[in-house]
Amino acid sequence: MLVGNTQLTQISKSYPVVIQNVLEYLNSIDKEQLALGRHELPGFDSKQAWFVVLEYNKEPLGNFKPEVHKYHSDLQIVLEGSEVMAWSLDTGTHTDAGPYNQERDLQFYEYAGVELNSIHAKHNQFYLFTPNTVHITNIENDDSQPVRKLVVKIHNDLLEAK
């Protein structure tokens, strides 16, 4: 897991190159004007990296199952509003809450044995959930404002995390 500022700074040079490139591109466009749904990332194979823009109302933690991905990492950026995100390291011992969804690269876990940490996700920050990070997002906080979020899906080969 990696947390950082969406604006490139001196510390950004320590991020994986793909993260630097994605942030550079995202900082060059008007994210407020992006339509909801899936978007291509120029310079990347559309099966290796893309992003989606989402809008939603936050929900209680109990409405979600912990999730993990095998082949992609999620780079999540809150564009408007704020939310709570929860995460835990994947120990490899968690109980599946159903079969792995290959098309969505998504595995849900039961809560038993998943010890969650919380993050208060805010504007101008990114949260990179790698395959060793179980996570839950879209969790309600102390305000009822809807959230507009951008989620970049990045194949782990691009992160050199295999």
Q: In terms of C-beta distances under 8 Å and separation of at least 24 residues, what long-range contacts does 25-29 make, across chains too?
A: 26/51, 26/77, 26/150, 26/152
What is the pLDDT at residue 160? 78
Q: What is the pTM of this model?
A: 0.93
Q: What is the pLDDT of residues 59-90, one digit of tens each?
A: 999 999 999 999 999 999 999 999 999 999 99
Spans in the chain with pLDDT lower than 50:
161-162
- Around 74, how many Cα atoms within 13 Å sit in the side-chain half-sphere? 26
What is the pLDDT at residue 162? 41
Strand, helix or coil for residue 71: coil
Residue indicated by tokens 């407020």: 32
Phi, psi (degrees; rounded to nearest 5) at 156: -65, -20
